[in-house]
Structure 1
Amino acid sequence: MQTIQDIQNFEGKYPKQLWYLFFSEMWERFCFYGMRGMLTFFMVDQLLMKEDVANLQYGATQAFVYAFTFVGGLFADKILGYRKSLFWGGIMMIIGSIILAIDPKQFFFLGIAFTVIGTGFFKPNISTMVGTLYKADDSRRDAGFSLFYSGINIGALLGGYVCIDIGKNYSWSIAFGLAGIVMIISLVTFMFTQKNMATIGLSPLLHLQDSKRKSYEYATYIGTLLAIPLIMTMVSSPEYTNYFMYTIGPITLLYLAYEMRNFSLQENKKLIAALIFILFSIFFWAFFEQSGGSLSLFAANNLENDFLGINLEPNGVNNAANSLFVIIFAPLLGLIWVWLNVRKVEPNTVVKFGLGFLFLALAFYTFYSTRFFANIDGLTSLEVFTLAYFIITFGELCLSPIGLSIMTKLSPDKLQGMMMGMWFLASAYGQYVAGILGAGMSITNENATKSEKLIAYTDGYQQLAIYALIAGVVLIVISPLVRKLMQDVK
C-alpha cells in the first residue's frame, strides 16, 4: 500500500495526486465563483437593493463564507479529517444551489446560508491536502501551489463568465442550478481519486472505537444543519455581521494563544510570522475583492461592451478576466520561482508579498485611469479595465498561492487545518472591509448619472492605489525581521 512518504518522494515537478485535487477544486471553484459573480448584480437587479446596501450585503455574505473556513478547518483537525470535511462541504453547497435554483428571490438567503457553511468545510481542507503532498523542505512546494492555483482558476473563469451571462440573459434559476451540477462533478472526481491519497486527510480519531468516532462525526453534521437558521439570519443582516466580525477575530487569536502553549519557542516564532502574513493579507483582500462588489456594479453601469471589436458581457469580463490571466501566467510564474531558486536568487516570501501590493497599487491606479477614457454618457473602455485585471493578476500570484504554501510551512502538523482556516478568516475580514469600502464609494442617490457614478468609484480606486503602495513598501522594509521569525522556512 502506498504511504505518504511514497507520495512525497515523487519525481519531476509535480506529484500526480496534485492533479486529482486540481480537478476537484476546479469544479468547486466554478460553483463558488459562478455564485459570487452573480451576487451583487442579482441583489441590485432582482432584489432591488440600493448599490451601497448591495455592497455591504456582498461584503457580509463573503465574510461569512471565509470566516467559516476557520470553523471547517478546526473540525477537520479535531474530528472529521480533511476528506470527510470537504465531502460534507460539497453536499451542503449542492443543497444551497438547488434551493436557489428553485426560487432565487424567495429562498436567496436560505440558499446562501447552505453555501456559506459548505464552502467553509470544503475550501481550507483541500488546500491543506495539497500541502501534505510535499516534504517540509521541498522547494517545489511553491510551484505546486501555483499550478493548483492556476487549475482552480479554470473553474473560476468558466463559472464567473457563464453563470452571470445565463442569469442576465436567460434564467437566474438555471444559472444557480448549473453551479450545483458542477459541484456534483467535483465530488464524484474526489470520490474516484481519493484512493491514491494514502492516509492523507483521514480522520484524526481513528484510534477511537468506531461507535465513539461516528458519534462525534454525526454530532458535527447535525450541529451544522441546526446552525442554518442562525447563519441565514446573520447573513441577511449586515448588522449581525458587524457583531460577528468584532468577536470571531479576537476569539480566534485567544484560541491560537492557548494552543501556542503546547509548542516550542521556535515553533511559536514561526506562528508569529504566519500572523504577520495573515494581517497584511486582510488589507490585500479588502482591495482585491472590490471585484465582486464595487467593480461588479462599475462594470454593469460604466463599461462599454466592446473589446477590440468583440462584443462581450462587461460583468462577465469583470468576473472572468483575472482567472484567465491566472491560468496563463501562474504556471509560468511558478517555473520562474523554481528557476530563480536553482540560481539562489529567488526573492523571499515576504518580498513576494510586498511585490503583490505594488502590483495591486498599479492595478487600482489603472482602474482610476478609466475615467480619462470615458465618453459623454459615462461609459468607458473595457480594454483599459481589462488591462487593470492583467496587472492585478500578478499581485495575486505574488501573494495568494504563496500564502497558501507558507501557511503549511510555518504551521505545526497539529495546527495545519486551523492555520489554513485563519488564512481564509483573514480573507473574511478582507471581504468584510471590501463591502464597507465599496459602499463608501457608491452614490446613494438613485437618480445619479453614469458619469457621477464613474467619478465616485474611480476616486475610491485612486485612494486604494495609494494605500496598497504604502503597504507594499512597509512589507519590503520589514522583510528582514519577518525572515528571522521564519528561521529555516524559505
Structure 2
Amino acid sequence: MRDQPPGNLSPGVAAAQPAAPPQQYPRRAFFVLFLVEIWERFGYYGMASIMVLYMVERLGWRDQRADLIWGAFSALVYAMPIAGGWIGDRVLGARRTLVLGAATLGLGYLLLAIPLTATFFAAMAVIAAGNGLFKVNPNNLVSRLYGDDRTKLDILFTIYYMSLNVGSFVSILLTPWIAEHQKWTVSIAGLRFDSWHLAFGLSALGLALGLINYGTWRRYMRPYGTEPDFQPLPWRKLGAVIVACLIAIGVLAEIIRHPQIATGMVVVFAILIAWVFAHLLRTNRERGARGRIWACLVFTILSIVWAIFNQQIYTSLTLFAYHNVHHRLLGLYVAPAQFQDLNEFWLVLMAMPLAGLYQRMARTRHGDFSMAVKYTAGLYLLAIGFFLYAASGLHAPGGVVSPWWLVAGYGAQSLGELLMSALGFSMVSQLVPERARGITMGAWYLGIGVGLYAGGWIAGLASVPSGVASVTLSLSLYMHVFAWLGAGALVCALASTALIPRLNRWTAA
C-alpha cells in the first residue's frame, strides 16, 4: 500500500457504506512520533546536562548531595512510566496519555525556569510526573506500526532511538552554552532570570514545539493506539488521573528533597518489578510464552546494570570533566556539561550503520545476531569504556587529562548503549503479548530507575570533599571509581555470556 493520503469520498458513497477503518500510514505515523520524541528529548537532556552543575555551582551544594538528588530524581523519572503505561493501556489510551505527559513536562520545565528556590523541588516533581505519563506511550505506539517482524522492529527501534539523540545532541550543545554566559539576564515582573534559568527555559520551548508538531500531524496517528484511544474520551477518568498526578507531585517533591527516602523507594520499585513479571508468568501458561517472559526479566536486569553506567554521564563523568579534564578539544572551548554530547554524537553516528548491519545479517544463512548476543556485547563495551576512563589518569600532567580519553570512552559506552538500551523497546515488543506491552515497558523503565539511583549513589563515592581543591586528589577518586565500574561491567558480561544458550532458547520459543 502506498503511503499517501486517501482520496475524498462523495457524501452519497459515505452514506451508503459503513464507516471504513482509518487508512494506515506507518511511515508517516513513525515520522510523527519521531518528531515528538526529538523535541521531548531536546527538553529533557538540555535540563539534564546542566542540573548537577547547577546544584554545585549555582546553589552551592556539595558534589555528593547533588549526585544523590539527581539519582533520586532520575530514578523517579524512569519509575513513573509504569503508571503511565497502565494509564495508556487501560484508562485514557496511549495517544491521549502522550499528549497529557508532554504538556505536564512543559509545565515542569517552565517552573524550573522561574528564579525562585521554592519552586525547584516542585518543578523536578512535575517533570518526573510528566515523564511518567509520556515516556512509555510513544514506544508502545511505535511497536504497533509493523506488527511482529523482529528484524524490522530492531531496525525501527534503533532508528527511533537515534531520534531521541538528535534532539538531545542539539540541546546539550545549546543549554550549557547559554548557562555559561552569566552576563545574560532578563528581568520580568520583578524576577531576575539569569543564564541558568534562561537555559532551563529552552527546555520548555522544546516541549511546546513538540506539542505543536504532534497536533499538526495527529491525523496519521488515528489508526494506531490502545483500546481506549478508539473510544470517547472518559472525562471522569481524565479528572481522576489529573487529581492523582497532583497528589503524586506533592509526594515526589518530598522524595527528591530528601533523597535518603529513595533507598526505601528503590526497594518498593524492585517489589513492583517482581510483581509485574510474576503476574505475566501467572497469566501466561503456555510454555513458549513463559520462556519469553523469563528472557524479558533477564534482559530487564541487564538493563538495570546498563543504567548504573549511564548515570555516570550526568554525575561522575560530568564532574570529572569539570575538575580534571582539559576544556579544549580540536582548538575549541568545551564546557564541562558539553562533554555529555560525545555520547549523543556517537549514538547518532553509529545508529544507522548498526541498523544496516542488522538488516544485512538478517539476509544471511545464520540470520541476525540474537538479542542475548547483542546485550552481552553491550556489557563488554561498557567495561572497555570505563577502563579507558580509568586509564586516563596514567598520563595527567598537573592532574588534568586529555579530552580524547573521554572521546574514546564515550565511543565504546555509546555503542554498548545502542546494543542494550535502544533494543529494550524492541525486546519488550518481541517477547511480551501486545495487551501487556505498556505495563511491561513501565516495569522495564522502573528497573532503569533502580539502576539510575544506584548509579547516583556510586557517583557520590567519587565526590570531592568540601573545601578541597586538589585536582590530584579528585583524579585519584575518579580513577578508583571508574576502574571498579569497569571491573563490574566485565563480571556482568562474563555472566551474560554463560547465559546466552538458555536465553536463545527462551527467545526462540
Partner of 2:211: 187
TM-score by length of 2: 0.90
Matches within 5 A, 1:63-78: 63-78=75-90
Return 5+ residue gaps in structure 2 as ranges: 1-5, 7-19, 183-194
Greater CA radius of gyration, 1 or 2? 2
Higher mean C-alpha deviation, range 123-132 or range 258-267: 258-267
- Match for 1:442 among 437, 445, 463? 463
Partner of 2:186: none
| Post-superposition CA distance 1:180-230 (Å, at most 9, x none) | 0111111111122221123312552756xx58x321122112211222211
Partner of 2:35: 23
CA-atom RMSD in angstroms:
1.8
Q: Which one-letter code corresponds to 1:372 in the other structure? A: L
| Post-superposition CA distance 1:104-160 (Å, at most 9, x none) | 533211111110011111111111111111211342111111111111101111112
Moved over 3 A (4+): 1-8
Cα offset, 1:329, TM superposition: 1.1
Partner of 2:147: 135
Contact persistence 2:277–2:293 (CA under 8 A):
no
User: Secondary structure of the residue that 1:139 maps to in structure 2?
Assistant: helix
Cα offset, 1:310, TM superposition: 2.0
Query: For 2:24 and 2:37, how far apart are their aligned partners in 1?
Result: 23
- Match for 1:291 among 297, 300, 313? 313
| Post-superposition CA distance 1:323-377 (Å, at most 9, x none) | 111111101110111011111342211010000011111110111111123121x
Partner of 2:3: none
Q: Do structure 1's residue 328 and structure 2's residue 349 form an aligned pair?
A: yes
Partner of 1:277: 299
Query: For 2:370 and 2:272, how far apart are their aligned partners in 1?
Result: 31
Q: Which one-letter code corresponds to 1:315 in the other structure? A: A
Contact persistence 1:3–1:198 (CA under 8 A):
no
Cα offset, 1:437, TM superposition: 0.5
Identity %: 26
- Match for 1:241 among 252, 262, 265? 262
Cα offset, 1:7, TM superposition: 4.6
Query: For 1:3 and 1:262, how far apart are their aligned partners in 2?
Result: 31
Contact persistence 1:365–1:461 (CA under 8 A):
yes
Q: Do structure 1's residue 309 and structure 2's residue 321 form an aligned pair?
A: no
Cα offset, 1:50, TM superposition: 1.0
Contact persistence 1:360–1:465 (CA under 8 A):
yes
Contact persistence 2:24–2:223 (CA under 8 A):
no
TM-score by length of 1: 0.93
Query: For 2:503 and 2:411, how far apart are their aligned partners in 1?
Result: 29
Aligned residues: 477
Distance 1:7 1:226, change over 3 A: same
Higher mean C-alpha deviation, range 361-370 or range 168-177: 168-177
Cα offset, 1:44, TM superposition: 0.9
Distance 1:260 1:235, change over 3 A: same
Q: Do structure 1's residue 471 and structure 2's residue 483 form an aligned pair?
A: no
Partner of 2:402: 381
Matches within 5 A, 1:332-481: 332-343=353-364, 344-376=366-398, 378-481=399-502
Query: For 1:5 and 1:454, how far apart are their aligned partners in 2?
Result: 59
User: Secondary structure of the residue that 1:362 maps to in structure 2?
Assistant: helix
Query: For 1:21 and 1:400, how far apart are their aligned partners in 2?
Result: 18
Query: For 1:433 and 1:5, how far apart are their aligned partners in 2?
Result: 46
Q: Which one-letter code corresponds to 1:181 in the other structure? A: L
Contact persistence 1:273–1:485 (CA under 8 A):
yes
Matches within 5 A, 1:55-70: 55-70=67-82
Q: Do structure 1's residue 114 and structure 2's residue 126 form an aligned pair?
A: yes
Partner of 1:169: 181
Partner of 2:289: 267
